[in-house]
Structure 1
Amino acid sequence: MRNREAKMSLSDTIRKTFVPIHREGYPFIAIFAGATLVLGLIWGPLFWIGLILTGWCVFFFRDPPRVTPIDDRLVISPADGVVSSVGPALPPPELGMSASEMTRISIFMNVFSCHINRAPVRGRVSLVEHRPGRFLNADLDKASVENERNSLIIESPHGPVPVVQIAGLVARRIVCWAEAPGELAMGERFGLIRFGSRVDVYLPAEATPRVSVGQIAIGGETIIAEFGGEKAAPIVRIS
């Protein structure tokens, strides 16, 4: 019994220490590792620089498990990062939605954020649309209009919720596994962006934001909005 408990304890420790790596990252990690070995043969100090960069690449493609609150009244953050904007905005025109503004919540991911994207609500994916564009800093507001992006509409219990993956200054590749028609569960992985980017969520007027600009959000866990809640603005304390 003690041996089994010791093995279980060791297994739990390993799982907590070594975060899973998404398979999308394997080719890049292999390239970084191979380049590190070559650089080491050229000049010893370059090996250590390459080793640090390889470690960063492994860290970038981490895919940690998340505990998602399952409640149709809630909207969950689609990504790890900083809340860069909360306010009214028009959804991308290629989605063919009405010209009415929706509440947009933007999550900006830097090169150290976990870049796995997760569904903020559950529902049927009715549309997936890719649009080429520029690669401006994703933290800029105009990036929503000018940058390359991939948009999808999730038909949630409270109406259509557009989710937009936006490429950034360094990002050159948007990956989306969701297909239309298809189903997504709340918190389910649907894509990632390489390397530094943003995800916008557009919500109906009935949704009340529960985050503020500058707040850190955890993809699949942080509640960013709520349906049916009071419209009072959240209290923010900066310390």
Structure 2
Amino acid sequence: MRFQTLFEGRWIFAVVIALGVSGGLLGWLWLVVLAALLVLFCINFFRDPDRPIPPGDDVVVAAADGVVADIIEIEETEVLKTRCLRVGIFLSVFDVHVNKAPIAGKVTYRQHHPGIYLDARNPECSIKNEALTWAIEGAKATLVIRQITGAIARRIVPWSQVGDNVEKGFRFGMIRFGSRTEVYLPLTATVEVKVGDRVAGAQSIIARLN
């Protein structure tokens, strides 16, 4: 557990613990049990393990834990303004929600986009939901990463700024309670995952840059 990650859940922990204390004072065992289960859930949600990071400027790692939801060729219109390969990762409420830099490089772009809160499995969520777009300029390419909220996740927390130099696997932000993270790759990249694969942020190789 890391303090920075746990700090994002401080109010949630406070409310849940207050419920448990209130249940104890009132003699409501069911509320104490419920609060205890919620505390365990929150501890699991805000976990943030260290992992071995594959080396190499050509190696692109997953920016999030979760399941590869789609791999498509699409026009990236915000930063690169060219066609890219997009790898979308769906994060359930049981996944680690800290996002990791897929390559080492310099943060050259960060832009928040207001929106609605469709389920992160809805194909339209990439366009309509609240999101935060990043670009990291690496040794071999500039990659775009999008953090997208879901029906339950309604807060994106950025921890990095434009101009920051980040290492591969660096924790640049998180999304709270179920969401989606997308990585936009050059068309020349070789994708190493397929739809349905489960990936671990900063550890699983999702592509190689050619």
Question: Normalization by structure 2: what TM-score?
Answer: 0.94
1:182 aligns with 2:182: no
Counterpart pick for 1:78 among 58, 63, 67: 63
Distance, in Å, in 2 between the alignment partners of 1:142 and 1:101 is 19
Gaps of 5+ in 2: none
Following TM superposition, by how much is the alpha carbon of 1:39 offset from its aligned partner in structure 2, in angstroms? 2.9
Aligned equivalent of 2:12: 28
Distance, in Å, in 2 between the alignment partners of 1:189 and 1:208 is 24
Contact map agreement 1:32 1:57 (CA 8 A) in 2: no
1:58 aligns with 2:43: yes
Gaps of 5+ in 1: 1-18, 229-239
Distance, in Å, in 1 between the alignment partners of 2:179 and 2:94 is 11
Distance, in Å, in 2 between the alignment partners of 1:96 and 1:218 is 26
Contact map agreement 1:152 1:162 (CA 8 A) in 2: yes
Distance, in Å, in 1 between the alignment partners of 2:22 and 2:66 is 34
Following TM superposition, by how much is the alpha carbon of 1:20 offset from its aligned partner in structure 2, in angstroms? 4.6
Higher relative contact order by CA 8 Å / sep ≥ 6: 1 or 2?
2
List structure 1 segments (4+ residues) > 4 angstroms apart after TM superposition.
none
Percent of residue pairs identical: 37
Counterpart pick for 1:133 among 93, 108, 115: 115
Contact map agreement 1:131 1:149 (CA 8 A) in 2: yes
Structure 2 SS opposite 1:191: strand
Q: CA RMSD in A?
A: 1.4
- The number of equivalent residue pairs is 207
Amino acid corresponding to residue 112 of structure 1 in structure 2: F
Following TM superposition, by how much is the alpha carbon of 1:118 offset from its aligned partner in structure 2, in angstroms? 0.2
Counterpart pick for 1:223 among 202, 205, 209: 205
Following TM superposition, by how much is the alpha carbon of 1:90 offset from its aligned partner in structure 2, in angstroms? 2.3
- Pairwise mapping of residues 78-117 of structure 1 onto structure 2 (< 5 A)? 78-91=63-76, 93=77, 95-98=78-81, 100-117=82-99
Which of 1 and 2 has greater Rg?
1
Residues 12-45 of structure 1, C-alpha deviations (whole Å, 9 max, x = no match): xxxxxxx556232233222211222113334221
- Pairwise mapping of residues 150-165 of structure 1 onto structure 2 (< 5 A)? 150-165=132-147
| Cα distance change on mapping 1:200 and 1:209 into 2, 3 Å | same
Following TM superposition, by how much is the alpha carbon of 1:158 offset from its aligned partner in structure 2, in angstroms? 2.0
Question: Normalization by structure 1: what TM-score?
Answer: 0.83
Contact map agreement 1:25 1:58 (CA 8 A) in 2: no
